[in-house]
Structure 1
Amino acid sequence: MALTRKATGGGIRGREGIAGWLFVIPMIVILGLFLVIPIFMALWVSFTNWQGNTNPFSIGQGTELVGAKNYTDLFARDGLTRDNFMQSLGNTFYYVLLVVPLQTVLALALALLVNNKMLKGKSFFRTAFYFPSVTSSIAIATVFLFLFSNSGAVNSLLDLFGVDGPNWFTDSRGVLHLLFNAVGVDNPGWAQGEILGRSLWDWLSGPSVALFVIIFLVVWTTSGTFMLMFIAALQDLPVEVDEAAALDGVSKWQKLRLVTIPMIRPALFLVITLGLIGTWQVFDQIYVMGKGAPDGTTLTPAFLSYQQSFGNFRYGSGAAMAFVVFVIIIVLTRIQRYVLTDKDERKPLFGIGGRR
């Protein structure tokens, strides 16, 4: 009888399985309808010249299948599309390079501060540090827009020190170009070679001052959320670890570097991964604070994809940009996971190399 029940999936375990599927199926249906299917539809659109006025699957009725043309236009065909996309990639590269480390370090520092047993008023500081994260990003971006406008508070303060604020914050040159110009270097011959349609000098421009303002805004608003993740990881550490470190007489810096950070590595991986995804998909701050101005120095792939799709009605090109960013995120996430994994536990990177 027991064998028959086991074979037919009856009994308590069988009923648990049925109950489990009843709870899971609604979420599978919702994710399938609103996530999986739209992703595959967007992938199909990226291989067409769909303009949004017909059925994207009706080939021959105003929509043509163009293959990989939308992708090759982004990398190999001279024109405004490639120029804008490459500029957005260059902007986002510097944006990610600055935002992810800064917000990670700041979040960990805040978590260590709030988790200190000697600190009084922990609830107040946790709320204060987390408050910018729960405030509307559009509202904060609008406030920053007023602060850094020509007649804003920041420029008024700079005027007191004799700095021409409006011209400074609307300068389209990157900070690296400003530093090069300060030492007399301006578009040298060794920087004239082209990479993907842009000169090396343009790739080395660095973030503009306007992009630095957005970087400061994003670091300030996101560090609170990541602080909570680090606090949860720090509070999960065994008490014996602190006692052993105290008995060994290690300094606070040695304890942080050799004990705390290795033990919260899963939380560190989560924070960096979410940071990479969020920075490569930044949109709302860009939309509110200039839509790429000045001179495209705050342009990002996410905003450019939106602009191509809903502004120029080139949905195929916009979808192709989105999938290029998707691949970049996957590659960077795989690399940073490989870096954060112990050497003895590393798997081959992209299926190449590794231990045998």
Structure 2
Amino acid sequence: MSRTAARRRSPRGGRQGVWGWLFVSPATLVLGLFLLLPVVMALWVSLLEWDGQSNPFTGGRADFVGLDNYRELFTEDGLDRTLFATSLRNNAYFVLIFVPVATALSLGLAMVVNQRLLRGRGLLRTTFYFPSVTSSIAVSTVFLFLFQGSGAVNTLLSWIGVNGPNWFADARGIVWVALDGLGLMDTDRPPGFLAGGNVLGLTWFEWLSGPSVAMCTLLFLTIWTSSGTFMLIFLAALQDVPHELEEAAALDGVTRRQSLWHVTLPALRPVLFLVLTLALIGSWQVFDMVYVMGQGAPGNTTLTPAFLSYRSGFGEADYGQGAAIAFVLFAIILACTGVQRWLLRERTARLGRPR
């Protein structure tokens, strides 16, 4: 019998396990009561047609409809499916732009402030991180004033010949705005192969339109307020990279770009995965800025699944559908995070394989 197995079977080891469970039981109870139990209750609500005016567990005005709330989102033609597909399209573009841009920008800022010979590093760190500690509601309100019809941004754009109020109220995507501005496509009459198709109630023209100008404004705001936090995470990881590796690479005549690609980034791979995961989850859950700056306007081009879930439940008293949207969003986040983890594991195994 091994020494480890003997310890596990000893009475002392058993008492340590009991004491361990005893110490973690308060935290486990709190997490179960305020986290796990509400999730289970919300899952039950997603199977109901409930207006929030009665107890969802005792009948009354809560009718069990099974998966009907999910069917309305995916298979049944109607406004619910169209709005849900629109929110998915908007958020997908948000994720595709926000995650790589915010990650690259925060890594670049971290590498700038990590230089030893740079003067005023403390001031730069504070400046870059300050937007992250500012209230998102306050920042969104300031941006709302900047981008309104008579705001500073539209005034500046008018100086270069861009009609600001019409520009930011345009419900078209930036892809079609650019093509229309260049005279390559008449967006009022899209080509037949784009006008056709029906994916969750949207045509290919709508799916491929790109984010609107208003959504790009939200993207700029989110990147500006999030890069500081990611910068600190990268900065802590950069300070743990052994300087011997960089010095050895410099002695071998490696350029800075080669050193970044072959020395720094491999050392930052676990932290890079963490930042990518946090950015992915945060971008799928964007809500507060949408609520303050437009609530879906113009033309539902800033509508996101998180805000649609809120509006369905608290705005239209359809808590069953609101909960269903929330769980679909949870499944999307879980799937994307799992794919990222699988890709990282595959890459690590491949790099660790002997040649």
SS in 2 for 1:249: coil
5 Å matches for 1:118-197?
A: 118-181=117-180, 182=182, 183-186=184-187, 187-191=190-194, 192-197=196-201
**Equivalent in the alignment of 1:31:** 31
**Counterpart-to-counterpart distance in 2, 1:328 and 1:184:** 34
**Counterpart-to-counterpart distance in 2, 1:78 and 1:161:** 44
Cα drift, residue 338 of structure 1:
2.3
Distance of aligned partners of 1:135 and 1:333 in 2 relative to their CA distance in 1, 3 Å threshold = same
5 Å matches for 1:34-45?
A: 34-45=34-45
Cα drift, residue 119 of structure 1:
0.9
User: What is the CA deviation profile of residues 252-297 of structure 1, one whole-angstrom value per residue up to 9, with x for unaligned ones?
Assistant: 1001111111111110000010111100000000000010000100
**Equivalent in the alignment of 1:349:** none
Match for residue 245 of structure 2 among 225, 228, 241 = 241
- Structure 1 unmatched ranges of 5 or more: 347-356
**Counterpart-to-counterpart distance in 2, 1:245 and 1:342:** 26
5 Å matches for 1:318-329?
A: 318-329=322-333
Matched residue type, 2:64: L
**Counterpart-to-counterpart distance in 2, 1:87 and 1:321:** 13
**Counterpart-to-counterpart distance in 2, 1:174 and 1:209:** 7
Distance of aligned partners of 1:4 and 1:202 in 2 relative to their CA distance in 1, 3 Å threshold = closer
Identity %: 55
**Counterpart-to-counterpart distance in 2, 1:278 and 1:76:** 28
**Counterpart-to-counterpart distance in 1, 2:128 and 2:31:** 33
Matched residue type, 1:275: A
**Equivalent in the alignment of 2:101:** 102
Match for residue 316 of structure 1 among 310, 320, 333 = 320
Distance of aligned partners of 1:4 and 1:136 in 2 relative to their CA distance in 1, 3 Å threshold = closer
The TM-score with structure 1 as length reference comes to 0.92
**Counterpart-to-counterpart distance in 2, 1:6 and 1:67:** 47
User: Is the contact made by 2:69 and 2:320 (CA closer than 8 Å) also made in structure 1?
Assistant: yes
- Structure 2 unmatched ranges of 5 or more: 351-355
After superposing the two structures, state which structure 1 stretch, 221-230 or 328-337, moved more: 328-337
Distance of aligned partners of 1:154 and 1:8 in 2 relative to their CA distance in 1, 3 Å threshold = same
SS in 2 for 1:118: coil
After superposing the two structures, state which structure 1 stretch, 336-345 or 230-239, moved more: 336-345
State the Cα RMSD in Å: 1.9
SS in 1 for 2:64: coil
Matched residue type, 1:39: V
Matched residue type, 1:130: Y
Match for residue 262 of structure 2 among 258, 261, 283 = 258
**Counterpart-to-counterpart distance in 2, 1:227 and 1:19:** 40
Match for residue 289 of structure 1 among 270, 288, 293 = 293
Distance of aligned partners of 1:301 and 1:15 in 2 relative to their CA distance in 1, 3 Å threshold = same
User: What is the CA deviation profile of residues 175-205 of structure 1, one whole-angstrom value per residue up to 9, with x for unaligned ones?
Assistant: 0111232312431111111111111111111
**Equivalent in the alignment of 2:46:** 46
Matched residue type, 2:192: G
SS in 1 for 2:205: helix
5 Å matches for 1:85-96?
A: 85-96=84-95
SS in 2 for 1:195: coil
Matched residue type, 1:318: G
Distance of aligned partners of 1:6 and 1:342 in 2 relative to their CA distance in 1, 3 Å threshold = closer
SS in 1 for 2:298: coil
After superposing the two structures, state which structure 1 stretch, 189-198 or 68-77, moved more: 189-198
Distance of aligned partners of 1:345 and 1:63 in 2 relative to their CA distance in 1, 3 Å threshold = same
Match for residue 305 of structure 2 among 284, 301, 305 = 301
